[in-house]
Amino acid sequence: MNARLPTDPPRPLRLLLAAPRGFCAGVDRAIDIVDLALQRYGAPVYVRHEIVHNRFVVDSLKAKGAIFVEELDEVPDGAPVVFSAHGVPKAVPAEATTRGLDWLDATCPLVSKVHRQAERQTDAGRHILFIGHKGHPEVIGTLGQVPEGTITLVETLDDVAALAFGTGDALAFLTQTTLSVDDTAEIVTALRTRFPQIVGPKAEDICYATSNRQAAVKAIAPECQLVLVIGAPNSSNSVRLVEVAQRCGARGMLVQRGDEIAPHLLDNVDVLGLTAGASAPDELIREVIDRISALRDVTVEQVVTAEEKMVFKLPRQLTD
């Protein structure tokens, strides 16, 4: 008989650790801004929206004295406030300035680049077709950069087919920075097919970190029965990594902490993939690896598909 006895040791597990993974330059910058603001102003420092989509990071900053709010009317007069890495509509800093609040903008510079492109396309008289996910903070922020009626959100191929524009209309497209590279390419192709005159960005708007993390998952997932992605359910780039793993034939699963990994999840898994979304810190990656190692005899193999050396400057208010 080949049946394993209950006393048999668990099978060894190959753990393929994707690289790049975890924090990107924009997330590093946003967290540094809150930390430095706390040092400069003292607690409390208010943060509009989650600075990045990770509960561990948010709770860590709360412990240092950051207070997270959804809207500016929750910020007392005279208090410092930080805007999240996802970006905000123009009306938000305008309101903060009107109230005399000391505000800091932690918007990722790559998101700010999309904002500037939106302004330029609108100034040129083009209507913008913005590819993104309705309700995501980055999308809300980008839609709020230009006058109402000058930008239309496109989420799917069906949305492209339903657009009422014609080949004579002046159009441009832009995209959210944390989308699926493959899905976005399909939508862009559909837009260019329907509207040959449409103008696109000189370089794609999907950020380097999103693209690199998806490419790393594509490199490991075909060998894996299961790919774990460390990230929050409201983290767009993390959810996209799960989808990429699934398209490569592996089971994909989002986890936030090591204690979410029950022993049965590793049943019939000989090769496990592991990555982390751009807002997941190294502490959580180590925690998950420790949890897996407690369940199975693990051999860790790092698979590197790109090197990231991007660093973004901090706001002048914190460096002068």
Residue 8: band (very low, low, confident or very high) from pLDDT cuts 50, 70, 90: low
Outline where DSSP puts E strands in the chain. 13-19, 45-48, 66-69, 80-83, 102-105, 127-131, 151-154, 171-175, 226-230, 251-255, 271-276, 298-304
Residue 1 CB burial class (10 angstroms; 0-12, 13-18, ≥19): exposed
Catalytic positions, written as ranges: 138
Helix (H) or strand (E) holding 214: helix 208-220
In order of their start, the domains of the chain are 13-23+208-304 (3.40.1010.20), 25-109 (3.40.50.11270), 110-194 (3.40.1010.20)
Task: Answer whether 299's CB lies under 8 Å from 12's CB.
Answer: yes
- Using one digit for the tens of pLDDT, what is the confidence trace for 47-56? 999 999 999 9
Task: Answer whether 79's CB lies under 8 Å from 67's CB.
Answer: no
Taking the model in full, what pTM does it have? 0.93
- Using one digit for the tens of pLDDT, what is the confidence trace for 72-85? 999 999 999 999 99
149: its two tokens: 């009626």
- Using one digit for the tens of pLDDT, what is the confidence trace for 108-154? 999 999 999 999 999 999 999 999 999 999 999 999 999 999 999 99
